[in-house]
Structure 1
Amino acid sequence: MSAPEPLLSCQGLEAGYGVSQVLFGIDLQIGAGEVVSLLGRNGMGKSTTIKTLVGALRPTAGGIRFAGQATDRLKSDAIARLGLAIVPEGRHVFPNLTVREHLQAFADHRNGLRDAWDIERIYGVFPRLRERQNNLGNQLSGGEQQMLAIGRALSTNPRLLILDEATEGLAPVIREEIWRCLATLKAAGQTILVVDKYVHRLVGLADRHVILERGRVVWQGDSAALNADRSLWSRYLTV
């Protein structure tokens, strides 16, 4: 019996901005139910990879398949309708919508999920959002906005959830709450691609890790391998 097709795969992916090439032959696979981290120092191609996966940047070579379809020539909205949702760096919540309106406006029970991410289920993961459900986006703290951005993405019931800089700029106690929530999502079977600099937390969360250096994949493996080889951390992940 042949192995099932990965939920997301890209082979030989190249992309850039104008004449400046940033990605050089990226190979990446994510299976349904996996949590995968994308690691590397700033400027090594993580954000460009994500932009290419979600259709915000068209690749110059290579291919992308998501949910059984070639997506490297699709627009962002078409890729989103296939079940890909992103929590962008900077969160980008709407200042004039309440928490509840955010979660209602983007709700889409696509993909035939048995346990859909409706408002009550999202509130169960993020109790603080229930407490603040009538507050506007600009009345929330940075941590609350990040919770809302994750909840908003979940309300679309995505096959794949991408988190770009999941805990960037958050206070330590709020970071811990975000890590707890991501562990809850993993336990629920949510497929996740996460970018974050806190490698010591990612080895306890992610199934596999992909390290980028100057737009190339220089290492990939599971958490046990990454945790055991701390030379990788100093060579590719520390400033």
Structure 2
Amino acid sequence: MLKLEGIETYYGASQVLFGVCLEVGAGEVITLMGRNGMGKTTTVRSITGLTPAATGSIRFRNREVRSLPSHRIAKQGLGLVPEGRQVFPNLSVRENLLATAANRDGRSNPWTLQRVFELFPRLQERTSSMGNQLSGGEQQMLAIGRALMTNPALLILDEATEGLAPLIRHEIWECLARLKAEGQAILVIDKSVAALTRLADRHYIIERGRNVWSGNSAELLADKAVQERYLGV
């Protein structure tokens, strides 16, 4: 579904990514891991076209998208839950969810307000609340719901549970497990190795903008040296 090969990305004259490779298959949950400042968010921004890659290939749903503007990449079926949530502060929960709603693939069971409210009952309780009136956890639920309302083929979450209370983190992981069970392809960034290894099929670790390790959950859990060296676990 998504395949990155040899991605190199710059901020001005400063190179941040050095040949990053990554692949997400249909229905897979894949993680991108590494310490802060190692290029995870830049990789997401390259995939989505927000910070276009200078060289390499980004193929999404069998189409080369590296040179496309971000809005056209999104329309191919990519849903993003960005770092920092970035909900619309002066729109209500309902308006946030409907703002970018689409069903471009004509799914027979598309994401709707009711389905999002079933996934996150707390949002239904806050339907008329403005985005800036929500707690951090509620904003993250709203950001996930908003991305799902685009009916994405691939859902990307950058720092899925950063800064959230433990109970809210648990609710987010339960949500992602449910989405996986429904066949949703997901690429997720987070720091919780325990939660990610329970959820995901495969993992990629990057260090200073380069791929340094990849494998499945059993392999990652068994390799304490990799965890200590690259993840600080």
What range describes the TM-score normalised by the shorter chain of this pair? over 0.9
In the superposition, the TM-score normalised over structure 2's length comes to: 0.97
Name the structure 1 match of 2:171: 177
Identify which of 78, 86, 90 aligns with 2:84.
90
1:60 corresponds in structure 2 to 54
Equivalence map 1:32-51=2 (5 Å): 32-51=26-45
* 2:156 paired with 1:187: no
Give the superposition deviation at 1:158. Answer: 0.5
Q: Assess if the C-alpha contact under 8 Å between 1:37 and 1:202 holds in 2.
A: yes
- Residues 75-133 of structure 1: per-residue CA shift (max 9 Å, x gap): 00000000011101111111221111111221101223232111111111111111111
Equivalent in 4, 8, 26 of residue 10 of structure 1: 4
Runs ≥4 residues deviating over 3 A:
none
- 2-structure distance, mates of 1:113, 1:35: 21
For 2:170, the aligned partner's letter is: E
Report SS of the residue matched to 1:209. strand
Task: Answer yes or no: is the 8 Å Cα contact 1:16–1:48 preserved in 2.
Answer: no
- State the shift of 1:230 in Å: 1.8
Task: Please report the TM-score for the alignment, with normalisation by the length of structure 1.
Answer: 0.95
**Larger displacement relative to structure 2 (202-211 or 124-133):** 124-133
Identity of aligned residues (%): 60
Letter of the aligned partner of 2:180 in structure 1? K
Count matched residues.
Answer: 233
Tell me how far apart the structure 1 counterparts of residues 43 and 219 of structure 2 sit (CA, whole Å): 23
Render the CA deviation track for 1:155-187: whole Å, top value 9, x for unaligned. Answer: 000011100000011111111111111111111
Alignment-mate amino acid for residue 192 of structure 2: Y
Moved more, 206-215 or 93-102: 93-102
Which whole-Å CA distance do the structure 2 matches of 1:91 and 1:66 have between them?
24
Bigger mean CA offset, 228-237 vs 75-84: 228-237
Q: Pairwise mapping of residues 1-239 of structure 1 onto structure 2 (< 5 A)?
A: 7-238=1-232
Q: Which runs of 5+ in 1 are unaligned?
A: 1-6
For 1:78 and 1:109, the matched residues in 2 are separated by 15
